[in-house]
Amino acid sequence: MAKVAFLGLGVMGYPMAGHLQAAGHAVTVYNRTAAKAQAWADQHGGACAATPREAATGAEFVMACVGNDDDLRSVCQGPDGAFAGMTAGAVFVDHTTVSAKVTRDLHAAAQEGGVSFVDAPISGGQAGAENGALSVMCGGAEDAYGRAEPVIAAYAKICRRIGDSGAGQMTKMCNQIAIAGLVQGLSEALHFAEKAGLDGRQVVEVISQGAAGSWQMANRYETMLDDAFEHGFAVDWMRKDLGICLDAADETGASLPVTALVDQFYKDVQKLGGGRWDTSSLIKRLRALD
């Protein structure tokens, strides 16, 4: 078993760190709100630290799951950052969804200190984190990934190295691009069923067994029909991720017309006051147009 630091105890990080402790690893946590770190330590029997550097000191693996590029830089760099406490040979695993630029910058900074950096964004939502069934897509050196994978397995349903540094983040962008189109399509289908006077549940019972079936349909159609949107990844977070996708598309020359359109639809949802609604709330926008 390993000595592990976990930085960031949001709706994803809190249960992920718990799975590590339950698997027998010695876990020290850090959170910007210290009371939450103490609550985690009280619940799971691990330790908490006052700074990322303190949490990372002596750790073989440091996991991070924070909010955005700036948050990640703040827990990694500076005199109180994790890199300042890590020793050569340790592995930093970033589960945050961030830009390709910050991944490249932090990978280079880690290497200067002899630390390996694995970008390992996650998919599966809060339920996946709580159930230890996340999909983890990784980029980085093969040896670093090989060492980290058994630790990540504590909360992963599937974990794969896709390629060198940045490949994990690029794969997560593919994930978000696919989800955006799927949720818009599902929203339009359910909205159409409502306008046509059909029973949405009966419709989904039939079409979900054919080519239209998807995870989004299976897990979100009922709450969408019930006008309930407190069940997953928030619109504010999705817009942050889609912005990263669109920026990367400009760099790579990829064409993402549907993604760009759905991003604007999510902007409309934010204007409706739905920034904290889950991503299936795209249907709210259609209903608001009635």
For 139-195, write each residue's pLDDT tens digit.
999 999 999 999 999 999 999 999 999 999 999 999 999 999 999 999 999 999 999
Structure-block tokens of residue 138: 């990784």
Q: What is the mean pLDDT of residues 226-237?
A: 92
Q: What is the mean pLDDT of residues 20-28?
A: 98
Q: pTM of the predicted model, to two decimals?
A: 0.93
Residue 27: strand, helix, or coil: strand
What amino acid positions are annotated as catalytic residues? 172
CATH number of this structure's domain 3-163, picked from the four choices 3.50.50.60, 3.40.50.720, 2.30.30.40, 3.40.630.10: 3.40.50.720
How high is the mean pLDDT of the chain?
A: 97
Q: What percent of the chain has pLDDT over 90?
A: 97
Per-residue pLDDT at 232 exceeds 80: no
- Using CA atoms, how far apart are residues 207 and 213, in angstroms rounded to an integer? 7
| Per-residue pLDDT tens digits for 90-149 | 999 999 999 989 999 999 999 999 999 999 999 998 889 999 999 999 999 999 999 999
Which sequence spans correspond to the domains of the chain?
3-163, 170-288
pLDDT of residue 231: 80
Residue 262 identity: V
Q: Is residue 289 within 8 Å of 265, Cβ to Cβ?
A: no
Structure-block tokens of residue 171: 């794969």
Burial class of residue 20 in the structure, from the number of CB atoms within 10 Å of its CB (0-12 exposed, 13-18 middle, 19+ buried): buried
Lowest mean pLDDT across 45-49, 130-134, 229-233: 229-233
Structure-block tokens of residue 64: 């991070």
Confidence category of residue 290, pLDDT binned at 50, 70, 90: confident
* Distance set, CA 278 to CA 211, 220, 258 (Å): 25, 10, 19
Hey, how many other C-beta atoms are within 10 angstroms of the C-beta on 188?
Answer: 13
Comparing CA positions, the residue from 116, 109, 99 lying closest to residue 169 is: 99
Q: What percent of the chain has pLDDT over 70?
A: 100
pLDDT of residue 204: 98
pLDDT of residue 27: 98
Per-residue pLDDT at 1 exceeds 90: no
Instruction: Report whether CATH 1.10.1040.10 matches the domain 170-288.
Output: yes
pLDDT of residue 211: 97
pLDDT of residue 53: 98
* Sequential DSSP letters for 193-261: HHHTT--HHHHHHHHTTTTT--HHHHHHHHHHHTT---SSSBHHHHHHHHHHHHHHHHHHT---HHHHH
